[in-house]
Amino acid sequence: MTDFTKVILYTDTDGLAKFREELVALSEGSPQALLSPLAPSTGYQLRHSPVGFRSQFHCTPIPQWVFILGGKMEIGLQGGVSRVFSPGEHFYSADLLPAGATFDAAVHGHWSRQVGPEPLVTLFLQG
């Protein structure tokens, strides 16, 4: 493997949150331990969400990586599209409110929820 797949939750030009994937080159390190270039970060938070947790529609306030450490997390978009992320999976959350827009829960953002019998444990890494 010479690339890392970065799943990105973003705001498209129509103001709707969508998923896309891009490849990150693993261009550093050695053949036994390929690395991406070092990226800056500004801090992290850990979150525990109990069984039954579900958020309202919202936009990401600051772009951040979301790593699923335990349980499962579903991210839902306008129009009914959703993806479930399991332990060891991740995505880059960057669905910011478009500049000059007023938040409208019928148009903007995403919702998240805990899925299954285990609490959801996540790591948010800003950067």
Contacts of 83 by beta carbon, 8 Å cutoff, 6+ apart: 7, 19, 74, 75, 91
Is CATH 3.30.230.10 the classification given to domain 3-126?
Answer: no
Q: Which pTM value belongs to this model?
A: 0.92
- Residues 12-35 have pLDDT tens digits of 999 999 999 999 999 999 999 999
- Residues 54-112 have pLDDT tens digits of 999 999 999 999 999 999 999 999 999 999 999 999 999 999 999 999 999 999 999 99
**Cα gap 64→8, rounded to integer Å:** 10
